[in-house]
Chain A
């Protein structure tokens, strides 16, 4: 129960950091060997075994490691990142959290954490907004000082994205 609560807290704390644009603090939640991927999803026929369809291997919207995520954050700090300056108003709605059994690994104890995500994004002074829905399939690892995100795969619920860019994190 303690582990469940700790991981739930991680997800909610992470959403707060992302919604408030505190990206340096968000980086501190990531493991140094983090793999962060948002695969391209396409419309395909239903497979005989069911499951999610059309999640492509090999092409992504984001395929990041710690260094590249740090680069994206550093960019936002330059004062010239027009896509998010002025910033979007973002809200990460994290629901349906499913926490797997812990398993020991050479790098520390890891736990699978799946969650549903609804991102609300509004920009400028216009009343329009964008909604992006997804499932996040994470692996969190217990390291010194707490849980760190070691792996995230974002399964989008869109083929063609209804937004002009992905200048934010899932």
Chain B
């Protein structure tokens, strides 16, 4: 691994060395979870070069449909042009830098700047400048002054990602083998997914890495953080339910997945409890029989993409009295706002060709357990807030946190999917892999 570079302050360089020394041994300095100087480095080295999730194509199905999304605090208009092409245009007028779009979503054929009236088509071309000849003369060329597209924009099965780095590897290369696990959701039906509405957005005083960790590798927290739901019979009675199954990481990429089956003795329906017709569609929709077999045995699936996207797809039901299972699917972005501060963007999604009754029920399975008011997630955000606070305290900064769970586990040779798999979810393996990749990007 690369040596810590000069150009960062001695204290930051000491922090990175501490992480570098500790990562293989499962020791992580607490202060990486709340530090202003590290946050600046993350902005430059990670978020300015990573593929960041922006939107799902079903949010902007028709020409002119747009949503406003962010990479760091750069606002991008994600808009489908009249030609059907989706673009991400920096929401910054080329004249004086004003926002040309201040709504979060809508449909527009053009964007007109409220400052001096420069008007752009929804493909980014500048088409109108008030008093153009009088003000700018004959040789003014509007073609040179269109909205600036994001340097890179690519999609995978309807998931749209942007990248600020023109030299970045392709999205397919960035994702690598995690695609096999993404496809367990994106290719469950031939029609793919659709969002159930706009994202919930809310602010949490925590670090993006801490939030992400819960969805990348932390099955272990469910038995205590989410004990209330076990007491209510919402989560399986076996408090160690999230331990069973595989934890998989993609070396060199930082991505990871957790694939959890039914706890021993628990009578849970196959295939997350999705309706039988969806199971039958999946049989031919999945690219490989191994993916179908894996999906049939899955009750909880999480996938986290480096650096800040996760999805969670657990078996659930709309409330504690509902008979039967109604799984839910949520996508989320852990959007970094500042040191120790994030905004969560959280969407609910469902298969486009799912039965209508199921779409309604799955929305409830999502709202009541995840998202801004979710009875699982509200305890997560409480806890993340305190950890981030402690991480920034003078004494807290000296502590190294324990990421040693599963340090001696041997990989599972029989797992049919790609990546390095362990046959037990109580391990920090995915997080150690994340930190390797995190360091690699910070130091390169």
Distance A163 CA – B225 CA, assembled complex (angstroms): 19
**Given A71-B320, A78-B227 in contact, is the A160-B232 Cβ separation under 8 Å?**
no
Which residues on the A side are within 8 Å of B378 (C-beta)?
83-84, 165-167
Chain B interface SS verdict (over half): mixed
Which residues of B from 265 to 297 have beta carbons under 8 Å from A?
A: none
Surface stretch bound by A, among B90-98, B177-185, B249-257, B365-373: B365-373
B227 and A80 contact, CB distance less than 8 A: yes
Which residues on the B side are within 8 Å of A161 (C-beta)?
200-203, 372
Q: Does residue A159 face the partner (Cβ distance < 8 Å to B)?
A: yes
Q: Does residue B238 face the partner (Cβ distance < 8 Å to A)?
A: no
Which residues on the A side are within 8 Å of B383 (C-beta)?
82
B104 and A80 contact, CB distance less than 8 A: no
Q: Name the contact of A82 in the complex, choosing from B199, B234, B368, B382 (C-beta under 8 A).
A: B382
B364 and A68 contact, CB distance less than 8 A: yes
Q: Does residue A112 face the partner (Cβ distance < 8 Å to B)?
A: no
Which residues of A from 31 to 53 have beta carbons under 8 Å from B?
A: 38, 40, 42-45
Q: Does residue A56 face the partner (Cβ distance < 8 Å to B)?
A: yes
Q: Does residue A16 face the partner (Cβ distance < 8 Å to B)?
A: no
Distance A83 CA – B104 CA, assembled complex (angstroms): 29
CB distance from B21 to the nearest CB of A (A): 33
Which residues of B from 214 to 250 have beta carbons under 8 Å from A?
A: 225, 227-229, 231-232, 234
CB distance from A21 to the nearest CB of B (A): 15
Distance A58 CA – B204 CA, assembled complex (angstroms): 24
**Given A62-B367, A78-B231, A83-B381 in contact, is the A40-B205 Cβ separation under 8 Å?**
no
Q: Does residue A61 face the partner (Cβ distance < 8 Å to B)?
A: yes
Which residues of B from 8 to 63 have beta carbons under 8 Å from A?
A: none
Per-residue CB contact flags for chain B residues 343-375 toward chain A (1 = under 8 Å, else 0) read: 100001000000000000001100110011101
Which residues on the B side are within 8 Å of A81 (C-beta)?
228, 375, 379
Q: Does residue A72 face the partner (Cβ distance < 8 Å to B)?
A: yes
Distance A69 CA – B320 CA, assembled complex (angstroms): 11
Q: Name the contact of A80 in the complex, choosing from B228, B343, B363, B381 (C-beta under 8 A).
A: B228
Distance A166 CA – B381 CA, assembled complex (angstroms): 10
Q: Does residue A60 face the partner (Cβ distance < 8 Å to B)?
A: yes
Which residues on the A side are within 8 Å of B227 (C-beta)?
78, 80
Q: Name the contact of A59 in the complex, choosing from B102, B348, B382 (C-beta under 8 A).
A: B348
- Interface range on chain A (Cβ under 8 Å from partner): 35 or more
Q: Does residue A75 face the partner (Cβ distance < 8 Å to B)?
A: yes
Distance A67 CA – B229 CA, assembled complex (angstroms): 15
- Compute the total of residue contacts between A and B using a CB distance below 8 Å: 121
A61 and B229 contact, CB distance less than 8 A: no
Per-residue CB contact flags for chain A residues 149-167 toward chain B (1 = under 8 Å, else 0) read: 0000000000111111111
Q: Does residue B105 face the partner (Cβ distance < 8 Å to A)?
A: yes
Q: Name the contact of A56 in the complex, choosing from B198, B202, B232, B348 (C-beta under 8 A).
A: B198
**Given A68-B364, A71-B319, A74-B320 in contact, is the A165-B377 Cβ separation under 8 Å?**
yes
Distance A38 CA – B229 CA, assembled complex (angstroms): 23
Which residues on the A side are within 8 Å of B385 (C-beta)?
164
Q: Name the contact of B198 in the complex, choosing from A40, A79, A82, A163 (C-beta under 8 A).
A: A40
Which residues on the B side are within 8 Å of A38 (C-beta)?
373
CB distance from B224 to the nearest CB of A (A): 8
**Given A68-B318, A83-B379, A164-B385 in contact, is the A56-B343 Cβ separation under 8 Å?**
no
Identity of the chain B residue whose Cβ is nearest the Cβ of A123 in the assembled complex: B382
CB distance from A59 to the nearest CB of B (A): 3
**Given A44-B105, A59-B196, A72-B375 in contact, is the A163-B319 Cβ separation under 8 Å?**
no
CB distance from B208 to the nearest CB of A (A): 14
**Given A68-B364, A78-B228 in contact, is the A42-B375 Cβ separation under 8 Å?**
no
**Given A42-B104, A68-B364, A75-B229 in contact, is the A164-B197 Cβ separation under 8 Å?**
no
Q: Name the contact of B202 in the complex, choosing from A62, A74, A84, A165 (C-beta under 8 A).
A: A165
Distance A80 CA – B226 CA, assembled complex (angstroms): 8
Identity of the chain A residue whose Cβ is nearest the Cβ of B373 in the assembled complex: A166
**New A-B contacts (19) at CB < 8 Å, excluding given A61-B372, A83-B381:** A40-B200, A43-B104, A63-B363, A71-B320, A71-B321, A71-B368, A78-B231, A81-B228, A81-B375, A82-B383, A84-B378, A159-B201, A163-B202, A164-B202, A164-B381, A164-B382, A165-B372, A165-B382, A166-B373
Which residues of A are at the interface with B, using a C-beta cutoff of 8 A?
38, 40, 42-45, 54, 56, 58-65, 67-68, 71-72, 74-75, 78-84, 159-167
Give 21 pairs: A residue, B residue, CB < 8 Å, sorted on A.
Answer: A43-B103, A43-B104, A44-B103, A54-B104, A59-B196, A59-B348, A60-B367, A61-B373, A67-B319, A74-B320, A75-B229, A75-B375, A78-B227, A78-B232, A160-B202, A161-B203, A164-B381, A164-B382, A165-B202, A166-B372, A167-B373
Which residues of B are at the interface with A, using a C-beta cutoff of 8 A?
102-106, 196-205, 225, 227-229, 231-232, 234, 318-321, 343, 348, 363-364, 367-368, 371-373, 375, 377-379, 381-383, 385
